[in-house]
Amino acid sequence: MAALTSIFLTGLLLALRVSGQAYDAIDREEDAFSYVQPLDTVILGQYGHSPAVLPSPNATGVGGWEAALVRAQAFVAQLTLEEKAYMVTGQPGPCVGNIIPIPRLNFSGLCLQDGPLAIRVADYASVFSAGVSAAATWDKAILYERGHAMGEEFRAKGAHIALAPVCGPLGRSAYSGRNWEGFAADPYLTGIAMERTIEGIQDAGVQATAKHYIGNEQETQRNPTYNPNGTLTDVIQEAISANIDDRTLHELYLWPFANAAHAKAASFMCAYQRLNGSYACENSKAQNGLLKEELGFQGYIMSDWGGTHSGVASIEGGLDMDMPGGIGTYGLFPQAGSFFGDNVTMAVQNGTVPESRLDDMITRIMTPYYWLGQDVNFPSVDPSTADLNTFSPRSTWLRNWTLTGESSRDVRDDHGELIRKHGSAGTVLLKNTNGALPLKKPRSIAVFGNDAGEDTQGFYNQANFEYGTLVSGGGSGTGRLTYLITPLQAINERAKQDNTLVQQWLNNTLIINSNIANLWIPQVPDVCLVFLKTWAEEAADRQHLSVDWNGNEVVETVARDCNNTIVITHSSGINTLPWADHPNVTAILAAHYPGEQSGYSLIDLLYGAVNPSGHLPYTIALNGTDYNAPPTTAVNTTGKDDWQSYFTEKLEIDYRYFDANNISVRYEFGYGLSYTTFEISNVQSTPLQTNITASPPSLPIEPGGNPALWAPIYNVSITLSNTGPYAGAAVPQLYLGFPSSTPSGTPPKQLRGFEKVYLERNETQTVTFELMRRDLSYWDVVSQEWVIPAGEFSMFVGMSSRDIRVTGRVTVV
């Protein structure tokens, strides 16, 4: 029990940690946020209400899982009630989440593993680029390829279920600590990223988990505050409630989850926090109503780790699997017991929960298992996993897990080459003046900044330590590096080829306190490369939007004496860049979190082997205070339910907000430069259906919802030409302005199409954006339908959300 208690406490600490830790970085006045939600200024009637949607619907297997569902039902029919309780309740074991084997039925259990950029609890596995990098590629092929390669590694390590990908947070707030795990601050781009990633993972034979469902837009108070002197159910204050109106929920936060359901994601993970007053994992409107009914989801909902706050209510509310669970009094949460486990058995025996509901929970869990063929020749859990698993180490196990097969399997294959490519493709060239880039065999290079060199404190869950380059953020979404190509290493290798002189200063404090001109020999370097970093992690929101470790001062110090200063950031995403217009800062690259090949990914761009083609999946404002919708970081009162976050900005997040309010920004959503130039001309639209109706025909629900919403109804095409000196890839983007008949609050422009197109010099191609019904609709709260508004849509096609090159008009209904 002692061991169990300590493990529990570790888990609790992880779960309860909020943003109180010390940040060593400068806390710039304009970026610091402290926001007390003014309770009395919001109209409570719009929010704080989540109607009950009961009962939880049975899965039918519709949409291609019918045969697998029959097999799942046959499996369920053989289970005892006790085994049924085990099937829906996690237990300590080798993986981050475990469903125990039932040898009698040749079922070898389920292994659930983190996370969105790597199989985290593993050795000899790859660390891929983070979600923010993947989104910045705007490349549908890379999104699939990355998902597929990750899926291969999960499978080879014996993980049935990948706890990935992430679309909650979506990026409501620039400060949210986990935005980098997800994709873009835009539902359309994120939706496509979800769909492609899920297809990639599942085509590799591994179940994907769309998380965190729904409204998980901040880390602060994502879990309740418990009385430290009381029992573990003694709540002082409940978790934050994300209060979101129906239209906003559909058009922003539910949108990418609909893509996940459409892509037949095996599972969804419900979020820690509350939604409109009730915990996400027991919210029947969200789970039964929106997900299982409206979106026709056929898989299972698992809880985030420790996110289950009730037994019967959660089961009725649609939760299908409790993680990490615990059975009886021996559970991971010994003082609290588990709301599932033996309680499920009791609830069925005393007639509170119909056994058919329990059967449906297991049917939903086993259907994707059979659909993906996981019952045949699935690799065993790599025994080394158990040694690396700090969440439920061997000492906590309640049963013998027979671990077979080779230990410490190397599952990396040739994925390093892909990661190198993905890292380059997810790097955004923000500025390039005076022909600074690409480099042409410079005579001398000076390297500055603590983000350039070797990591000094280990290769796992790096934390915000001072010395070493960043390739990932922290928490359950991190990865365990097996090697790391640092920028400095890659630059040195390349410099040797070119006989370039390289000098380096990695100590930011020293740089800031130096007269830079006295440091280098013998004269001003041809190029000064400044490496900056920004840390973000699970369980904490960001304190500011600046780069860390006095990075702004490092740039200013170097640029004072070096007229060719090129800045590279490794960052979770949004950074204010106050020095961006400095005339001596000739180029800026936002390299995000690129994964293990970081240095090679970068020099491919610096030296022009790869032409930059990344575009921002968020907006960089002029000032940190320009962003709206900050996290709620404090409440003024001590009431149990007082942590509330009202999403009163509604549809106006990121570029939708800046556009609607005519706010100038530094680099807008969708922005990204190339070494070549592109031209767009000739926008045309063609209906693909005749007699398009405003409301969708009422068709039987399939995964993703009414299939009519997914039917292409319009094509928009443009002519795209490479008019510059290099071959390269462009990302033409289609934004729609909705007709004036659309209800008020509709953003001026919304992304509804993009393609990544590679063009040789002088090459011209026709690019087509296919619009489906959902793309041309708004969510009508009265009819509870997606409706195409009457009147003229504006079509804006350009190279970013503000660099619009051609416009057109089209009337659809």
Ligand X SMILES: *[C@@H]1O[C@H](CO)[C@@H](O)[C@H](O)[C@H]1NC(C)=O
Tell me: does residue 509 bind ligand X (CB under 6 A). Answer: yes
3-state secondary structure of 346: helix
Tell me: does residue 227 bind ligand X (CB under 6 A). Answer: yes
Q: Site residues for ligand X, window 753-782 (CB under 6 A)?
A: 761-762
Is the Cα torsion angle 34, 39, 42, 47 positive or negative in sign? Answer: positive
If the CB atoms of residues 350 and 698 are measured against ligand X, the closer one turns out to be 350
Binding region for ligand X (CB under 6 A) out of 185-193, 244-252, 257-265, 345-353: 345-353
3-state secondary structure of 685: strand
Q: Where are the alpha helices (DSSP H) in 607-660?
A: 655-660
Please name the residue that has the structure tokens 């590279």.
Answer: 568
Tell me: does residue 723 bind ligand X (CB under 6 A). Answer: no
Tell me: does residue 73 bind ligand X (CB under 6 A). Answer: no
Q: What's the min distance (Å) between Cβ of 510 and ligand X?
A: 4
Q: Site residues for ligand X, window 10-39 (CB under 6 A)?
A: 30, 36, 38
> Residue 368 is inside which H or E element, if any?
helix 355-371
Binding region for ligand X (CB under 6 A) out of 148-156, 223-231, 537-545, 609-617: 223-231
3-state secondary structure of 15: helix
Tell me: does residue 584 bind ligand X (CB under 6 A). Answer: yes
Torsion of CA 797, 800, 804, 808, to 10 degrees: 20
Half-sphere exposure of 551 (CA within 13 A, CB side): 31
State how beta strands 110-113 and 97-99 pair: antiparallel
Tell me: does residue 342 bind ligand X (CB under 6 A). Answer: yes
Task: By CB under 6 A, name the one of 48, 101, 328, 743 that touches ligand X.
Answer: 328
With beta carbons less than 8 A apart as the criterion, state whether 733 and 749 touch.
Answer: no
Binding region for ligand X (CB under 6 A) out of 363-371, 560-568, 708-716, 804-812: 560-568
Torsion of CA 300, 303, 304, 305, to 10 degrees: -130
With beta carbons less than 8 A apart as the criterion, state whether 257 and 210 touch.
Answer: yes
Catalytic residue among 31, 114, 304, 342: 304
Tell me: does residue 617 bind ligand X (CB under 6 A). Answer: no
Q: How far apart are CA 692 and CA 398, in angstroms?
A: 60
Q: How far apart are CA 473 and CA 464, in angstroms?
A: 9
Q: How far apart are CA 283 and CA 415, in angstroms?
A: 40
Tell me: does residue 675 bind ligand X (CB under 6 A). Answer: no
Binding region for ligand X (CB under 6 A) out of 53-61, 186-194, 473-481, 535-543: 53-61
Cβ-proximal residue to ligand X, closest one: 337
Q: Site residues for ligand X, window 347-366 (CB under 6 A)?
A: 347, 350, 352, 356, 360
> Residue 304 catalytic?
yes
Task: By CB under 6 A, name the one of 49, 394, 399, 496 that touches ligand X.
Answer: 399
Tell me: does residue 586 bind ligand X (CB under 6 A). Answer: yes
Q: What's the min distance (Å) between Cβ of 31 and ligand X?
A: 8
223 φ, ψ to 5°?
A: -120, 160
Tell me: does residue 312 bind ligand X (CB under 6 A). Answer: yes
User: In degrees, to the nearest 5, what angle opens at C-alpha 604 toward C-alphas 600 and 606?
Assistant: 110
Tell me: does residue 72 bind ligand X (CB under 6 A). Answer: no
**Total residues binding ligand X (CB under 6 A):** 51
CA nearest to 393, candidates 123, 13, 93, 120: 93
Task: By CB under 6 A, name the one of 5, 434, 693, 807 that touches ligand X.
Answer: 434
If the CB atoms of residues 585 and 716 are measured against ligand X, the closer one turns out to be 585
Tell me: does residue 739 bind ligand X (CB under 6 A). Answer: no
Tell me: does residue 727 bind ligand X (CB under 6 A). Answer: no
Residue 334 CB burial class (10 angstroms; 0-12, 13-18, ≥19): middle
CA nearest to 293, candidates 706, 697, 694: 706
Task: By CB under 6 A, name the one of 106, 377, 690, 698 that touches ligand X.
Answer: 690
3-state secondary structure of 149: helix
Q: For the chain, how long is the longest CA-to-CA vector?
A: 85
Tell me: does residue 692 bind ligand X (CB under 6 A). Answer: no
With beta carbons less than 8 A apart as the criterion, state whether 61 and 70 touch.
Answer: yes
Per CB under 6 A, residues contacting ligand X are: 30, 36, 38, 55, 57-58, 227-229, 311-312, 328-329, 331, 336-339, 341-343, 346-347, 350, 352, 356, 360, 399-400, 434, 507, 509-510, 513, 524, 559-561, 563-564, 578, 583-584, 586, 623, 625, 636, 690-691, 761-762
| Active-site annotation, residues | 304
